[in-house]
Structure 1
Amino acid sequence: MQKRSLSTDGHMLGVLLVIASALMFSLSGVLTKAIAADVWTIVCWRGLIGGAAIAAYVAWRQRGRPLGPAFRLGPRGWVLAIVGSLSSLAFIYSFKLTYVANVAVIYATAPFMAAGLGWWIMRESVHARTFIAGGFSLLGVAIVVAGGLGTFSVGGDMMAVVMTFGNALYMVLIRRFCDVPVVWAGGMSALQLFFVSWLVTDPLAVSAQDAALLAAFGLSFAVANVLWTEGTRLIPAAQSGLFGSAETPFAIILAWLLLAELPPVASFAGGSMVLAAVFGHAAIDARRKHEFG
């Protein structure tokens, strides 16, 4: 009985950690919009603070053991880090150029893109329901992007598509490169952007308010990664995907409450289709995982 109770407590903790990580990740859009500095300055600060915090976390996890293996990326790890850096850059650009809701909705299709890439690159089997849900969500994305044609937001929408593809590829490469220290690869992807952006911008030419927001952005990025890493250790992957999907509605609600940002009708229509596909598919996966163990 005590063993079962401990298992239940661990599961609940995992759920709470994944939901908390989704909330922290959802702050990205609001913080990017609130910061007046340019994109390169944002990724510079976010990369330095987030990368350093992740490095400290990796070192803490390795306490009492040799640090070398945890920080040794190798060629595959560097590929992961580069893909992560490019995706992060597109991520920040997309928030600067379009509505937070549009980015959040488009990014919600990443699991379906990852399933398609996994089938193509690794010949992983994909359920028919995943193809159906993926097609439905991509139709929703098409409606969102079409709603921005001829307006300022279309460039940001396309950047969000590029970012989502990059993150989907990152998900697949994590499974392909199972020997790579994934958390540190994420930290190095952030630090890479810090070093590159330091060469193309003056990161110190920011206001005190922006400096505080940039510091918060870097810390939220690191905390979100740590919470997600710890949470996914405690619950099944299907449930992690389901509760992690809460990032999308969190981001939309925060943008509405804190920025008074209301996207056009097309964004709501397409977004509703994407969210229905994502949550419906995730709920079915979680239920089947529970039924069949």
Structure 2
Amino acid sequence: MTEMGSDHRHLAGVALVTGSTVFFALAGVFTKSTTAGPWTIAGWRGLTGAALIAAYVLWRRRQGAGETTLRLGWRGWLLTVVGAVSSILFIASFKYTYVANVAVIYATVPFIAAAIEWALFRQRPRSRTMATAAISFAGVAIIVSGGLGAVNLFGDLLALAMTAGCALYLVMIRAFRDTPAVWAAAVSALILFAASWFVVDPLAVSANDVVVMCAFGVSFAVAVILWTEGAKLLPAAEAGLLGTAEIPLAALFAWLLLAELPPATSVVGGAIILAAVLVHAGRDIATVRKDATAVG
């Protein structure tokens, strides 16, 4: 591939991943813009999101560029279950705490994933990752401490549980490389739609809420597709760094669209986590570029 072609692929990757963060960052706004409960939101988002992601996967297969198989197997079904549980926790956490809290707690996913990989596969994380994880969890502790005795403590704990589930999901994707991950995401969303009928009545909502929840599903599908395509064109470290843009964007959207201002403990803890993640990702990128230069 020519240098110009490589540059175009890189720019396309940056644009796609950055665009995905905008849609991911809107999750809190969509959740809090409807009076519906978490299960109802998960159901409608799941229906719309699953339909769009499935259509995308099938279209890519017809183009000969999609996942080679749609067979899930036990690994794929395990992915869908973990993804579904993480999704309902994700949506519920927004209902009980600040959008900014959920966003910054979620930023610790890579470090929890590293701990899970060490526990399951004895893959010892780098000392830099361990140090960054310790700093990040200190930030999480500060955020959670701000909720002690307040109504948002439950939401913060839900966000922690969701983050652990997403970290496990990430580890499973790495371990199950032959499993169609995007297709599993579509099936996971559809599972939530089906499950919601056993918990609530998804039709017992206003027309306005249906519009908001369906828009949430569209946003979710677009985010997944943009991230999937963009991450293929970038080194993992750079994609991860660009993904951190979701954190300040989520807080900004919550402030502009919901007039939601988190307490000082959330701001301090969030700043600590964001700084730790940015420094860690930045050093990873520097290492990758140094290695590439040495090879070149």
* TM interval, short-chain normalised: over 0.9
Change (3 A) 1:66 1:146: closer
Matching residue of 1:108: 107
C-alpha separation in 1, matches of 2:278 and 2:64: 40
Matching residue of 1:228: 227
Matching residue of 2:172: 173
TM-score under structure 2 length normalisation: 0.96
Matching residue of 1:7: 6
Change (3 A) 1:68 1:277: closer
C-alpha separation in 2, matches of 1:64 and 1:115: 36
Matching residue of 1:71: 70
SS of 1:193's partner is helix
Matching residue of 1:209: 208
1:31, distance to aligned residue in structure 2 (A): 0.5
Matches within 5 A, 1:46-125: 46-63=45-62, 70-125=69-124
Change (3 A) 1:234 1:64: closer
Matching residue of 2:37: 38
Matching residue of 1:22: 21
Q: Which amino acid aligns with 2:78?
A: V
Change (3 A) 1:204 1:259: same
Matching residue of 1:240: 239
Preserved CA contact (<8 Å) 1:70 1:184: no
Q: Which amino acid aligns with 1:228?
A: W
Q: Which amino acid aligns with 2:148?
A: L
C-alpha separation in 2, matches of 1:50 and 1:242: 25
1:68, distance to aligned residue in structure 2 (A): 9.8
Is 2:279 the counterpart of 1:280? Answer: yes
SS of 1:180's partner is coil
1:116, distance to aligned residue in structure 2 (A): 1.3
Bigger Cα displacement from structure 2, 196-205 vs 209-218: 196-205
**Cα deviation 1:66-109 (Å, max 9, x = unaligned):** 99953210000000100000000100110000000100010011
Q: Which amino acid aligns with 1:195?
A: A
Preserved CA contact (<8 Å) 2:90 2:159: yes
Matching residue of 2:250: 251
Preserved CA contact (<8 Å) 1:122 1:176: no
Aligned-CA RMSD value: 1.5
TM-score under structure 1 length normalisation: 0.97
**Cα deviation 1:191-210 (Å, max 9, x = unaligned):** 11000102221212222221
Q: Which runs of 5+ in 2 are unaligned?
A: none
Bigger Cα displacement from structure 2, 154-163 vs 119-128: 119-128
Is 2:161 the counterpart of 1:162? Answer: yes
Q: Which amino acid aligns with 1:210?
A: D
Change (3 A) 1:182 1:292: same
1:6, distance to aligned residue in structure 2 (A): 1.2
SS of 1:36's partner is coil
Matching residue of 2:142: 143
C-alpha separation in 1, matches of 2:67 and 2:281: 37
C-alpha separation in 2, matches of 1:223 and 1:39: 21
Q: Which amino acid aligns with 2:43?
A: C
Matching residue of 1:133: 132
C-alpha separation in 2, matches of 1:121 and 1:177: 14
C-alpha separation in 2, matches of 1:64 and 1:281: 38
Q: Which amino acid aligns with 1:279?
A: L
Preserved CA contact (<8 Å) 1:58 1:70: no
C-alpha separation in 2, matches of 1:124 and 1:238: 18
Q: Which amino acid aligns with 1:252?
A: A
1:125, distance to aligned residue in structure 2 (A): 3.6
C-alpha separation in 2, matches of 1:218 and 1:10: 28
Preserved CA contact (<8 Å) 2:61 2:68: no
Q: Which runs of 5+ in 1 are unaligned?
A: none
Bigger Cα displacement from structure 2, 278-287 vs 67-76: 67-76
